[in-house]
Amino acid sequence: MEKRKKKEGGSKLPIEGDTGSDMETIRKPADFDIASDEGGKDDEIALEKTKKQVDAKKRKKKIKGSDHGRDELENDNCEELDAEIEALLSSLTPAEILFDSSHEKQDNPDESNLSEVPPQASENMPDPRQLIRDVTSKTRARILLNSLIQPAGITAREFYKTYWEKKPLLATAHCKNGDGKDSKEILLKHRQRFSSLLTKSKIKKTIATSALRYGQDLNVTRYTTQSDGTKRRITLDLPPTSTADQTEHPIAEPADVWSNFDSGCSIRLLCPHQQSDDVHTLLSALELEFGCMVGSNAYLTPPSNSQGFAPHYDDIEAFVLQLEGSKRWRVYPPMSMTETLPRESSADYTEKDLEGIEPVIDEILEPGDMLYMPRGWIHQAHTPLGKLGASAEHSLHLTVSAMQNWAWVDLLEILMPEALESVARSETSTTLRDGLPRDFLNYMGLMHDVGGEDLPEGLKQASKSIAEGKPEDDSDIDETEKEELRQIERKRKLQARFKEEAKKRIMRVCKEAISMIDAGCDQIGKRFLSDRLPPAYNISEIVLTNESRTNQAAGRIWPNTLCRLARPGIARLVLEDGKAVLYHCGDNSRVYHGNPLSPMEFEVDDAPALETLLTTVEPRWVVVSDLVHGDIEDKMDIAQALYDEGILAIYQAEKPDKSVQVG
């Protein structure tokens, strides 16, 4: 039976595919947690520990479990670290968290990733650069967020509770107190903490070698005073050329780009993660933390009071990382409730629009500083004038974006039309297919409002009594007026009856929508898988996937092979057209929708085994023979298909069980 084939299209009604799983924060390669479905219990496999592993584990601080997430709806798979360990790890730079140049590839996850602690590390406080090697990818992502906001003196949990979607946050060197030699060293590290992500020289090389296109890869803009005296943003991109079949964006010639930059224009790279591995790795980790698509823009602005963009607000949660130079930022609160957490970015504001509105933040960001702004917060930024006796510097910052089109309304936009269609095509009821009442337009609608405000003064009280069901005192009302009141009463009854019938049908659709919540979540989950970046695996993940396979035998699945999803959340199982269909982002391109999803199709009886593989994540493993399926060959085929696709991590026993041969 063929276990994997590419599927075109997809149904609108998938089944639930939960990707959650209990996780430990620190991976212990020698202590495999085995997820066993057939026995219904978790078994443990004890593997031989080397002295190096024992010593390394002694250096670890104990971890305590988290009592609560930031919200009852948050599924926080990160266990809370000891406060000292969390602070220690959060002091690392993003590069130290995401990359480990000394990490050697290993074929055996039983070997500890921890090297000997350097002499300067104490018994109670290990070197964080050593400790970070041995955390799960989920915890690594949380530590990365902690690192970004660490200068503000808060943790990720405090950030989510107090700032996320609520108000801006500054994380600057000024948030740190102290003086002396240690403080100077701390400041120097702070200034350099984002330096590996992107530089002006890297941007120059990219523009020179990558044939970037205006409007697609970059913009050249300037915020300048127009002939009417109003400052506005102008874009100097060469316009695209359109034909009947396609739109062609012109290539940005490097000489033209830099000539405009030298004349005071800003350069915006629309997707720097397409060219930069480091930025891609940063965003991939944050997608794991935020659970939604994460993108980026880079902004290179000339020195001396240059500004590329007018005041505006965005439809994303923005993290501004100052990489080079400095920039003055002014941030203003939303002007109204409708502009709070908006679904679309604003048009440009003018200086006059902001008159009388005081900024809540007016700060110059320097290298290593970070500014977080929720959706809807108006902002503008420019490079400051050079200090006396010093040459002015350009500014380079990276904006990391999250939560675009990721609100309750976006889920309901998927769910409610599906529910309406489901009830409309019901095989047990015609309630939505019943015809509308005859002549209902003669009593429904605004023009038929019988609230009584437009009645003559003498009829208002009588009309009110009728509406409240009180006895009608008609002693002072003539026959014509009585007839008018009777017409009003008939209209009211018809309107009430119509609204009651409409309410019944609306409630039926709402009830159906509630029953389809899991299906709606699968739909938006598929959209996320399509939108997101391909996972940027770290070395400890690569050695367990087919990316490290040197020959076919090395990646062969046996009954005693240990398996788990290569990274949490990269795949989802749904039911479509009577088949179990697996969607994943492993083949995605760094170009948005560059590679369409290519789902894997399985038989429905394979679904329990697939669900186990997709919900078993680090540090846990599942043995292939323990998968729920009646046929051991099918168990091996299913796991092999996922491994070959690059989304399954495996650990091979020293003596594979070759009693069963497949393929």
Q: Where are the domains of the chain?
A: 48-167, 200-275+294-405, 410-519
Q: Residue 650 contacts by C-beta under 8 Å, 6 or more apart in sequence?
A: 544, 545, 555, 557, 561, 562, 563, 639, 643
pLDDT of residue 362 exceeding 90:
yes
In this prediction, what percent of the chain has a pLDDT beyond 70?
77
pLDDT at 101: 55
CA 340 to chain centre: 19
Helices (H) and strands (E) in the chain, counts: 17, 21
Give 530-581 pLDDT, tens digit per residue: 999 999 999 889 999 988 765 555 789 999 999 999 999 999 999 999 999 9
In this prediction, what percent of the chain has a pLDDT beyond 90?
67
pLDDT at 449: 84
Least confident of 275-279, 451-455, 489-493: 451-455
Q: Report the C-alpha gap between 512 and 508 in whole angstroms.
A: 6
Three-state DSSP at 476 gives: coil
- Structure confidence at residue 179 as a pLDDT band (50, 70, 90): low
pLDDT at 578: 94
Task: Give the end-to-end CA distance of the chain in Å, rounded to a whole number.
Answer: 11
Mean pLDDT of 586-595: 96
pLDDT of residue 587 exceeding 80:
yes
pLDDT at 407: 98
pLDDT at 660: 75
Instruction: Output the six-digit token pair for 129.
Output: 């650069």
Q: Report the C-alpha gap between 462 and 476 in whole angstroms.
A: 10
pLDDT at 450: 76
Asked whether the beta carbons of 564 and 33 are under 8 A apart, the reply is: no
- With residue 143 as reference, give the H or E element that holds it: helix 137-149
Mean pLDDT of 355-359: 95
515 vs 79, which has greater pLDDT?
515
pLDDT of residue 202 exceeding 50:
yes
The residue count of the chain comes to: 663
pLDDT at 385: 87
pLDDT of residue 266 exceeding 90:
yes
pLDDT of residue 638 exceeding 90:
yes
Which of 622, 534, 612, 629 has its CA nearest to residue 573?
Answer: 612
pLDDT at 454: 58
Place of tokens 């930022």: 329
135 vs 60, which has greater pLDDT?
135
pLDDT of residue 105 exceeding 60:
no
Mean pLDDT of 205-221: 97
Place of tokens 């403080």: 183
- Structure confidence at residue 663 as a pLDDT band (50, 70, 90): low
pLDDT of residue 110 exceeding 90:
no
440 vs 47, which has greater pLDDT?
440
Q: Report the C-alpha gap between 525 and 18 in whole angstroms.
A: 10
pLDDT of residue 603 exceeding 60:
yes
pLDDT at 63: 32
pTM above 0.95, yes or no: no
pLDDT of residue 81 exceeding 90:
no
pLDDT at 477: 67
Give 425-460 pLDDT, tens digit per residue: 999 999 999 999 999 999 999 888 876 555 565 555
Peptide bond into 240 cis (omega under 30): no
Q: Report the C-alpha gap between 314 and 378 in whole angstroms.
A: 8
pLDDT at 547: 80
Which of 587, 586, 598, 662 has its CA nearest to residue 624?
Answer: 662
Which of 109, 127, 129, 107 has its CA nearest to residue 118?
Answer: 127
pLDDT at 69: 44
pLDDT of residue 368 exceeding 90:
yes
- Give the β-pairing of 247-248 and 241-242: antiparallel
pLDDT of residue 161 exceeding 70:
yes
- Structure confidence at residue 341 as a pLDDT band (50, 70, 90): very high
pLDDT at 395: 98
Mean pLDDT of 588-617: 97
199 vs 25, which has greater pLDDT?
199
pLDDT at 222: 97
Q: Residue 114 contacts by C-beta under 8 Å, 6 or more apart in sequence?
A: 52, 53, 56, 59, 130, 131, 133, 134
Asked whether the beta carbons of 4 and 600 are under 8 A apart, the reply is: yes
What class has domain 200-275+294-405?
mainly beta
Angle, in degrees to the nearest 10, between helices 408-424 and 479-515: 100
- Structure confidence at residue 472 as a pLDDT band (50, 70, 90): low
Q: Report the C-alpha gap between 462 and 488 in whole angstroms.
A: 11
Mean pLDDT of 612-631: 95
pLDDT at 476: 63
pLDDT at 64: 36
Cα diameter, the chain: 105
Mean pLDDT of 134-163: 96
At 511, which amino acid appears?
Answer: K
Give 372-400 pLDDT, tens digit per residue: 999 999 999 999 987 755 568 999 999 99
Residue 580 has a CB neighbour count (10 Å cut-off) of 24
Which of 209, 211, 216, 255 has its CA nearest to residue 237?
Answer: 216
pLDDT at 83: 83
- Structure confidence at residue 652 as a pLDDT band (50, 70, 90): confident
Q: Report the C-alpha gap between 601 and 574 in whole angstroms.
A: 10
pLDDT at 299: 99
pLDDT of residue 56 exceeding 70:
no
